[in-house]
A and B are shown apart, each in its own frame.
Chain A
Amino acid sequence: MEPTLPSNRDDALAAPPSTATTSLADPPKAGAGPDSASPSGSPVGRRIVLGMIGLGAVGVLVGRQAQEAITSTVSATVPGLGSIVPAAGGFRIYTVTGGYPAMDRADYRLDVTGNVTTPLSLTMADLADLPQTSMTKDFQCVTGWRVDDVLWSGVLLSDVLAAAGASTTSSALRFFSFDGAYTESLTMEQALRDDVLVATSMFGEPVTREHGGPVRLYVAPMYGYKSLKWMSGIEVVDEVVPGYWEVRGYDIDAWVGASNGRDDEPIA
């Protein structure tokens, strides 16, 4: 304690004249020492705050490019890190209900109903017996994130519809989730595209519960909310019935880059 006192005093005496002037103009308040009464030193705290705000503003302006650079670097160098490090290309998991519905693969059924010649109730084994299709395509969320090069496998929706003898003169389809809340829609023309899949596998593994397993829809050319999760029913109908997100303001025809006011690169 003692050795510090002299140096303390020296500092006070050696203080720049401006400090002394301020001290005189603004007399020390009771209970406060000479140094705490008048501001001494430079306002570094304020500079740090202003500097951070400046950096933050730059970050907002160039964030999109920075995020893309980080995503490609991280996914190329450390696969799997994407789920830990921000903005490094991982999926973000959404659910419209309180929880994440679970379904035993043995109990799973996909009902195909409506304007069909043969209503179906497909088990996982039935789906595996239908022609299998794989595609490696991006998944683009309407909130901005995108996961590149996801390997999707399953049965083309058009093959499922053919198996049920769906009326191709019907103009639309409804999709139901076993979570009891999530619904989606497609026109028949959209449903028959060769990049719309009843997906049973992602990244070469069975679709997990949080990704919408055991069976989910994958509508490649459209924003993620069209790719219904936990799919349990397909109904062939005469007109489009807007799905869960569409009654909440999102576009029914959700083409990536040409809907919802967004300009993302379309999924090739």
Chain B
Amino acid sequence: MDATTSPSPDTRIARFSRAERWVHRSITVLMIVLIATAAALYFPDISVLVGNRPIVSNIHVIAGFLLPIPLILALASRAFRQDAGLLNRFTAQDWTWLRSRDRRSGRIPVGKFNAGQKLNAAFSMGSIIIMLATGSIMFFNAWFPDDIRTGATFVHDWLTLAIVVVVVGHTYKALMDADARTGMRTGHVSARWAAREHSQWAEEQRLGG
């Protein structure tokens, strides 16, 4: 590598725009509220401890209807749209990365997002749409026949289980990686981290200036 173009390990690289970090923070707060109120509504033991069911259920419904709003507002941001485009597209490399055992070794070059992050984004998007739809059926229940209401409850309940598993996984991964958290908090990551975790992206950043 040429010494003049090789980035110093301490160079900061811009990773997430202000809009993107704001979206992530809003979704985080709303998801915590949704999961906590869901637990208080669903588990008898917690229901008994918390009580105030009408209030808890109202908070859950309001947080649910607010959930898509940050995403819709963020569509005005070019950085958000570009990253959404990157998350949408799976390359041949992504499939190789998913299949390989040593996907964390850096052998397979990774772009701005790895395939796991892409899967998480797609699952989150699909989940938000389904939870919003089934939640709306449960909320405006007078407009729907019995079977549909029961079916919506069924999907809402079971998808909750899957979402909690994925959210726990996402949080665990974040807890294991302080640099990744810094990236989402400040918008910048170290060049060293970028080269290790997202080598292809780091290279693009270096070439693109």
Interface residues of A, Cβ cutoff 8 Å to B: 1-5, 7-8, 11, 28, 30-36, 39-46, 48-49, 51-53, 56, 59-64, 66-67, 83, 85-87, 90-95, 97-100, 143-145, 209-210, 261-264
Some 16 contacts from A to B, beta carbons below 8 A apart, are A8-B109, A33-B207, A39-B88, A42-B89, A44-B118, A45-B90, A52-B126, A52-B129, A53-B129, A56-B130, A56-B155, A59-B151, A64-B150, A67-B150, A86-B42, A93-B48
Residues of chain B lying within 8 A (CB to CB) of residue A145: 153
Q: A1-B199, A5-B203, A61-B147 are in contact. List 12 more A-B contacts (CB 8 A).
A: A2-B1, A4-B200, A8-B109, A11-B93, A36-B112, A48-B126, A49-B122, A49-B126, A59-B158, A60-B134, A63-B152, A210-B44
CA distance A90 to B127 in the complex (A): 25
Q: Are A60 and B137 in touch, CB under 8 angstroms?
A: yes
Kindly report which residue of chain A lies nearest to residue B157, judged by CB atoms: A86
Q: Are A4 and B94 in touch, CB under 8 angstroms?
A: no
Q: Do A60 and B109 form a contact, CB below 8 Å, given A30-B208, A52-B130? A: no
Residue B25 at the A interface, CB < 8 A? no
Interface residues of B, Cβ cutoff 8 Å to A: 1, 42-44, 47-48, 51-53, 82, 85-94, 106-107, 109, 111-112, 118-119, 121-123, 125-127, 129-130, 133-134, 137, 146-155, 157-161, 195, 199-201, 203-205, 207-209
Q: Are B92 and A41 in touch, CB under 8 angstroms?
A: yes
When A and B form their complex, what is the total count of cross-chain residue pairs whose Cβ atoms lie within 8 Å? 174
Q: Are A144 and B126 in touch, CB under 8 angstroms?
A: no
Q: Are A144 and B91 in touch, CB under 8 angstroms?
A: no
Residues of chain B lying within 8 A (CB to CB) of residue A11: 92-93
State the main secondary structure of chain B at its contact with A.
helix
CA distance A92 to B127 in the complex (A): 24
Q: Are A93 and B44 in touch, CB under 8 angstroms?
A: yes
Q: Top 10 closest A-B pairs, CB basis?
A: A33-B204, A63-B151, A52-B126, A86-B157, A63-B154, A41-B91, A44-B90, A45-B88, A48-B122, A41-B89
CA distance A264 to B106 in the complex (A): 58
Q: Are B47 and A53 in touch, CB under 8 angstroms?
A: no
Q: Do A144 and B1 form a contact, CB below 8 Å, given A53-B129, A56-B159? A: no
Q: Are A144 and B208 in touch, CB under 8 angstroms?
A: no
Smallest Cβ distance from A80 to chain B, in angstroms? 12
